[in-house]
Amino acid sequence: MTPDQAFQIANLLVLPQWLLMAVAPRWRFTQWLVRSFVIPVLLAVLYALYLFGGGPVDFGAFSTLAGVKGLFQNGGDEVMLAGWIHYLAFDLVAGSVVLRDAQEREVPHWLIVVPLLFCFMLGPVGLLLYWIIRTIRQPGTVLAPEK
Average pLDDT over residues 59-78: 88
Say yes or no to pLDDT of 144 above 80.
no
Q: pTM to 2 decimals? A: 0.89
Residue 59 is predicted with a pLDDT of 84
Q: What amino acid occupies position 106? A: E
Nearest residue to 18 via CA among 32, 33, 4: 33
Selected residue with higher pLDDT from 138 and 39? 39
**Is pLDDT at 100 greater than 80 in this prediction?**
yes
pLDDT tens-digit map of 111-134: 999 999 999 999 999 999 999 999
